[in-house]
Amino acid sequence: MLKADSITDAAARWEAETVAPVLAKAPERANLVTASNVPIERLYTPSEAEAGDYAEKLGFPGQYPFTRGVQPTMYRGRLWTMRQYAGFATADESNRRYRFLLEQGSTGLSVAFDLPTQIGYDSDDPEACGEVGRVGVAIDSLADMEALFDGIPLDKVSTSMTINATSAILLAMYVAVGEKQGVPAAKLTGTLQNDILKEYIARGTYRFPPRPSLRLTSDIFAYCTRHLPKFNTISISGYHIREAGSTAAQEVGFTLADAVCYVETALRAGLAVDDFAPRLAFFFAAHTDLFEEAAKFRAARRLYARIMRERFGAQDPRSWMLRFHTQTGGVTLTAQQPENNVVRVALQALAAVLGGTQSLHTNGKDEALALPTEAAAQLALRTQQIIACESGAASTIDPLGGSYYVEQLTDRIEREAEAYIRAIDERGGMVAAIEQGYPQREIEHSAYAFNREIDEGRRQVVGVNCFTGDAPADVPLFRVDEAATARQVERVRALRASRDDAAVRNSLSEIAAVARAGDNLLPSILTAVKAYATVGEICRVLAGEFGEYCEAFHSA
Amino acid sequence: MSMQPTIPELVAKLAASEGTARLRPAGRLITAMVERPNAAATLVEALNGRDLPRPPLVIGFTGAPGAGKSTLVDAVTARLLERRPDLRIAILAVDPTSPFTGGAVLGDRVRMMRLALEERVFIRSLATRGQLGGVCEALPGVLAVATLWGADVALVETVGVGQSEIDIARHADMSCIVMAPGLGDGVQWLKAGLMEVGDAFLVNKCDRDGATTLHSQLLSAVESRQHAPRRRLRPAPVGMVLPQVPPVLSVSAELGQGLDDLLDILPLPAAAHH
Amino acid sequence: MSEVKNMSPDVPTFWLPDAAPQGHPAAPVRRRILIGKPGLDGHDRGAKYVAQILRDAGHEVIYTGIRRTPEQIVAAAVQEDVDAIGLSLLSGSHNALFARVLELLRAQDAEDIAVFGGGVIPDDDVERLLALGVQAVFTPGTSAAEIVSRIEQVLSTR
């Protein structure tokens, strides 16, 4: 939109050029009115007199700089994807939970893997002791992956997989399951988390050092560009940075600095920005400060659009769009008075919707204590459904746009986040900054300050340091079946006894050879998983070539 | 409160133990050296009449925070274990005590955890407890315990310091000054003090931008001092000859580069002491 | 610097000798405490915070980082001769890993090292861990002051 445009003309052009084609393909939901039957406009904008720098800073939904949203009709067309993160014990048990969630109206799957799978140890590895099937499902081989998606047609669901260090292997398994179901790779939809940088910064689930890990990342970008055009190749995650104790601005700053690093890595590997950037996705946390959080999402969109267009010269508007998944903040849940968490989750989910999220996971009220029970997971999903169907927040686009408060918060977060990105550039980019402990230290400072404020009562948390004293509610807790570990260990041992050993051995030496030669690792990994090589075996080969990362300590 | 064993009891226990059972009495003796008054004197008394091993070769690693001292000590130890299956190594890592609370977070072990289960390695974290100079007051007593444990080599990592923390040179047979590119001041940081006590200068993270420049700056700084008399805060061990111009080496602890060159300049004992 | 506050307001505080001499411990008895994370979960926010509040209370904390095996933790605890070990765990693997740490301490003749636990641990398991010999378990929401005073209190009786 040109600066000289009057806002009325600009709005009319947006309706004609941006909205109309979308409406032709996907009409808006019917009956968009308030609870009192007042019709709700698609978008509310300032008056001609108030418009000011509206065009540069806010613009129109679906148009640069996307402050108000990435789609022209947002939730008036299609609601966000309600995607509940789940997985535990063995593939069979998780498969039952997925079918339950789909029956309850979930519109996408989100697979939680256990820690041994995420780091690349088989279930019978001594390193996996005590961890099998705990925080997610244990996947050792393609056989487990087949069981995980048994009866779930992969051309009908989109699947998000929280997997990073071992993402290439799990992606290969997903492709192989698709093939067995008769679904070609090109039809698979979903998202691979595949964000290794934040593992070094905040989450700790790394295996290999940063540089070879980034090579795996760009191998995945290149492979998916050719073979899985509808799959999001990465979900660049601020969520875990926030969980580790960052501020909202640090969450945006470090996440976008990670994005810069991934883009640069892919460019160095010879990819063209507009070939892979449209499939970069993001993942943020939503905390309880409703306005700050909504502003955070808006700021992230605007800043990212500018980075992609100005810094990387992307031409395709889809390369400028920051599309993101949101999860309500796990650390905000309290063990005390756990029922209160229902309210926290509702506010956080509302923040995500007001901020224009593309998909959303809502936490169970019991998750400060354990994985959620089925009932708690259902209530969490209902929370999203109430926001979608009853609150009216989904009836117009960017309802908070134009609030003095929210716009100033948006500007401020954008400014602070940009300063972090600059600080990281000055340190030689994100990998160097991580090696120097910079983001880790910044997050640690914020986390310490925040916890101190709560401990000293300067920041109030209901039920924790104020309004305490009610008898604790007795919340039933979900328990992972202890026998599941033994079953899984048995399963992987039986698998090793029954497969074609020569094929496994050959495929593993092929991976080592490709790793040394520097070619794309995905085809050889795909061959290995089809031969039922295990996650642990493949990772051992890769660790032999790449080395293993060792944490550094960066004390304040 | 349970009774603390006396220093002579611990010495006897250590002498009577073998293998990993030696860790416990050695650990407790170090605590005694740090905590108890006159501990070193009591120890010397307790050792009277015992057959004592030779003290270890003490190598100090000092340098600015962020130079990668812990990672380097970890890498040197791992390489030394490979190259010399006869030697035992004690690592003493010093971190600062908070002047406000007296507390400390000692985090050097984080980078050395792969050594935690090595039978030939003993690692102890020490806090400065108000001592200026980059090490801790009890270091001589701690080195004595390392000797009793059977250390052939002791690697002492100092607090990440400025240029005045040079006490390591009073305790070490050889002091290595560790630097890395990208820390800002470069050679400016090496004023008198460190420049004078350094027996070797190490450019760590030699794969990074700026390492070559730092290396050549260090070389010229070292060479400009070649006619100045070499003085030591502690006599060189018998048989140890240090070059007039201290060597400058480029290493990468992370990538394992240059470690063999570094080991080559360490005056390692020809045979294990034990 | 509490003494300073009682001085005449005319006296510039920088003329006064340092009220808190270097290394003066805040705690009545300075303890050495190892903080580590066994198992594979990498969420170290809680562990780092506890390390910092123990430092602030005047103790020496040996921080060993994430993803450590019980064997590594016990070997470090013995070499460091700590008074206590604090283990933080969020993944639910506590039963197996705490039991292993206690067993290894016994094997090293180091049962006098007190073991504390923290993390997402259900009540039934807390009972089980206490019965195994863990001194106290701090579940989510326990304040810093409670953690410090409980550890100090347990150590003072040993």
With contact defined as beta carbons under 8 Å apart, do A333 and A344 qualify? yes
Contact residues on chain C for A464, CB-CB shorter than 8 A: 141
Statement: residue A2 has pLDDT above 60: no
Please report the residues numbered 14 through 73 in chain B whose beta carbons come closer than 8 angstroms to any beta carbon of chain A: 66, 70-71
Chains in contact with A, counting 3 or more C-beta pairs less than 8 Å apart as contact: B, C
Expressed as residue numbers, the domain containing A351 is 74-455
Contact yes or no for B209 and A552 at CB 8 A: no
**B271 found inside a domain:** no
**B270 found inside a domain:** no
Statement: residue C13 has pLDDT above 80: no
Q: For B249, list phi and psi in degrees, rounded to 5.
A: -125, 140
Same domain, B238 and B113: yes
Residue with tokens 């020569």: A502
Statement: residue A174 has pLDDT above 90: yes
With contact defined as beta carbons under 8 Å apart, do A420 and A254 qualify? yes
> Residue C4 — pLDDT band, cuts 50, 70, 90?
very low
Predicted confidence at residue B187, as pLDDT, reads 63
**A506 found inside a domain:** no
Contact residues on chain A for C42, CB-CB shorter than 8 A: 199, 203-206
Same domain, A283 and A410: yes
Q: Does C100 touch chain B (CB under 8 A)?
A: no
- Selecting from B71, B107, B208 the residue whose C-beta is nearest the C-beta of A555 gives B107
Contact residues on chain C for A448, CB-CB shorter than 8 A: 48-49, 52
With contact defined as beta carbons under 8 Å apart, do B168 and B134 qualify? yes
> Residue B239 — pLDDT band, cuts 50, 70, 90?
low
> Residue C15 — pLDDT band, cuts 50, 70, 90?
very low
Contact yes or no for B71 and A428 at CB 8 A: no
Residue of B nearest to A546 (CA): B255
Residue A284 is part of a domain; what is its CATH number? 3.20.20.240
Contact yes or no for B71 and A432 at CB 8 A: no
* Average pLDDT value for residue range C41-66: 93
**B219 found inside a domain:** yes
Short-list B90, B159, B157, B97, CA closest to B127: B97
Statement: residue B252 has pLDDT above 90: yes
Two tokens at B69? 């001292």
Predicted confidence at residue B188, as pLDDT, reads 64
Statement: residue C20 has pLDDT above 50: no
Residue of B nearest to C21 (CA): B99
DSSP element (H, E) containing A526: helix A522-530
Q: Cα dist. A404→A42, A50, A398 in Å?
A: 21, 12, 14
Interface contacts B/C by beta carbons within 8 Å: 114
- Read off the DSSP letter of residue C87: E
* Average pLDDT value for residue range A206-211: 94
Same domain, A121 and A20: no
Predicted confidence at residue A112, as pLDDT, reads 94
Contact yes or no for C158 and B2 at CB 8 A: yes
Contact residues on chain A for B66, CB-CB shorter than 8 A: 436-437
Short-list A279, A245, A247, CA closest to A262: A279
Statement: residue A460 has pLDDT above 60: yes
- What's the CA angle centered on B127, arms B122 and B128, to 5 degrees? 125
With contact defined as beta carbons under 8 Å apart, do B261 and B249 qualify? yes
| Domain stop point among B13, B34, B52 | B52
Residue A8: count of CB within 10 angstroms of its CB: 12
Same domain, A311 and A447: yes
Predicted confidence at residue C16, as pLDDT, reads 43
Measure in Å the smallest separation between the Cα of A202 and chain C Cα atoms: 7
**A236 found inside a domain:** yes
Contact yes or no for A134 and C91 at CB 8 A: yes
- Angstrom distance (rounded) from CA B179 to CA B206: 10
Contact yes or no for A428 and B108 at CB 8 A: no
Q: Does C81 touch chain B (CB under 8 A)?
A: yes
Same domain, A117 and A245: yes
Burial status of residue A16 (CB atoms within 10 A of its CB: 0-12, 13-18, 19 or more): exposed
Predicted confidence at residue B186, as pLDDT, reads 60
Predicted confidence at residue B163, as pLDDT, reads 57
| Domain stop point among B37, B52, B67 | B52
Statement: residue C21 has pLDDT above 70: no
Same domain, A318 and A386: yes
Predicted confidence at residue A340, as pLDDT, reads 95
Predicted confidence at residue C11, as pLDDT, reads 43
Same domain, A385 and A418: yes
**A335 found inside a domain:** yes
Two tokens at B247? 């060597």
- Angstrom distance (rounded) from CA A283 to CA A255: 9
User: How many residues are recorded in chain C?
Assistant: 158
- Selecting from C25, C60, C158 the residue whose C-beta is nearest the C-beta of B1 gives C158
Q: Does C80 touch chain A (CB under 8 A)?
A: no
Predicted confidence at residue A470, as pLDDT, reads 66
Q: Residue C140 CA to chain centroid, in angstroms?
A: 15
Predicted confidence at residue C30, as pLDDT, reads 93
Same domain, A263 and A395: yes
With contact defined as beta carbons under 8 Å apart, do C35 and C86 qualify? yes
- Angstrom distance (rounded) from CA A261 to CA A432: 10
With contact defined as beta carbons under 8 Å apart, do B115 and C71 qualify? no
Measure in Å the smallest separation between the Cα of C58 and chain B Cα atoms: 4
**A499 found inside a domain:** no
Same domain, B69 and B198: yes
Contact residues on chain A for B71, CB-CB shorter than 8 A: 552
Per-domain residue ranges for chain C?
28-156
Contact residues on chain B for A427, CB-CB shorter than 8 A: 182
With contact defined as beta carbons under 8 Å apart, do B90 and B155 qualify? yes
Two tokens at C56? 């602030």
**A51 found inside a domain:** yes
Chains in contact with C, counting 3 or more C-beta pairs less than 8 Å apart as contact: A, B
* Average pLDDT value for residue range A338-367: 96
- Among C35, C37, C45, C146, pick the best mutation site for testing chain A contact (most A Cβ within 10 A): C45
Residue B125 is part of a domain; what is its CATH number? 3.40.50.300
* Average pLDDT value for residue range B84-99: 94
Short-list A106, A174, A104, CA closest to A139: A174
Residue A457: half-sphere exposure toward Cβ, Cα within 13 Å: 5
Measure in Å the smallest separation between the Cα of C46 and chain A Cα atoms: 9
- Angstrom distance (rounded) from CA A237 to CA A62: 22
Same domain, B183 and B111: yes
Contact residues on chain B for A433, CB-CB shorter than 8 A: none
Q: Does C49 touch chain A (CB under 8 A)?
A: yes
Predicted confidence at residue C24, as pLDDT, reads 47
Q: How far apart are the first and last CA of chain C?
A: 32
Question: Range with the lowest mean pLDDT among A113-122, A202-211, A472-481, B65-74?
Answer: A472-481
Helix, strand, or coil (residue A300): helix
- Among C80, C83, C148, pick the best mutation site for testing chain B contact (most B Cβ within 10 A): C80
Task: For residue range A62-107, list pLDDT tens digits in order.
Answer: 999 999 999 999 999 999 998 888 888 899 999 998 998 888 877 7
**B272 found inside a domain:** no
- What's the CA angle centered on B112, arms B111 and B114, to 5 degrees? 115
Q: Cα dist. A125→A511, A548, C65, C72 in Å?
A: 21, 16, 21, 17
Contact residues on chain C for A166, CB-CB shorter than 8 A: none
**B46 found inside a domain:** yes
Burial status of residue A316 (CB atoms within 10 A of its CB: 0-12, 13-18, 19 or more): middle
**A419 found inside a domain:** yes
Interface predicted TM-score of the whole assembly (ipTM), two decimals: 0.91
Statement: residue A446 has pLDDT above 70: yes
Statement: residue B144 has pLDDT above 50: yes
Contact yes or no for B113 and C24 at CB 8 A: no
Task: For residue range B166-210, list pLDDT tens digits in order.
Answer: 788 888 999 999 999 877 666 666 666 677 888 999 999 998 888
Query: In chain A, how many domains are there?
Result: 2
Chains in contact with B, counting 3 or more C-beta pairs less than 8 Å apart as contact: A, C
Q: Residue B144 CA to chain centroid, in angstroms?
A: 14
Q: Does B98 touch chain A (CB under 8 A)?
A: no
The string of DSSP letters for B107-159 reads -GGGGGGGGTT-TTEEEEEEE-TT--SSS-TTHHHHHHHHHHHT-SEEEEEPP
Same domain, B200 and B242: yes
Statement: residue A484 has pLDDT above 80: yes
**B273 found inside a domain:** no
Predicted confidence at residue B173, as pLDDT, reads 92
Domain covering C28-156, topology: Rossmann fold (3.40.50)
Expressed as residue numbers, the domain containing B117 is 53-265
Contact yes or no for B113 and A555 at CB 8 A: no
- Angstrom distance (rounded) from CA A479 to CA A476: 10
Strands C114-119 and C136-138: parallel
DSSP strand E in A310-438: where?
A: 324-328, 359-361
**B110 found inside a domain:** yes
pLDDT above 90 covers a percentage of chain A that reads 84
Contact residues on chain C for B103, CB-CB shorter than 8 A: 25-27, 30, 54-61
Two tokens at A498? 């029954």
Same domain, A318 and A176: yes
**A500 found inside a domain:** no
Contact yes or no for B111 and A551 at CB 8 A: yes
Same domain, B192 and B69: yes
Contact yes or no for C61 and B116 at CB 8 A: no
Residue of B nearest to A431 (CA): B208
Same domain, B45 and B110: no
Q: For A127, list phi and psi in degrees, rounded to 5.
A: -65, -25
Query: In chain B, how many domains are there?
Result: 2
Q: Cα dist. C125→A117, A309, C97 in Å?
A: 25, 53, 12
Same domain, B74 and B191: yes
Contact yes or no for B103 and C72 at CB 8 A: no
Residue of B nearest to C20 (CA): B100
* Average pLDDT value for residue range A341-355: 98
Neighbouring residues of C1: CB distance < 8 A, sequence distance ≥ 6: C13, C19, C20
Conformation bin of residue A409: beta by default, left when phi > 0, alpha when psi is -120 to 50: alpha
Q: What is the mean pLDDT of chain C?
A: 85
- Angstrom distance (rounded) from CA C11 to CA C13: 6
* Average pLDDT value for residue range A352-358: 98
Is A111 or C4 the better-scoring residue by pLDDT? Answer: A111
Same domain, A284 and A397: yes
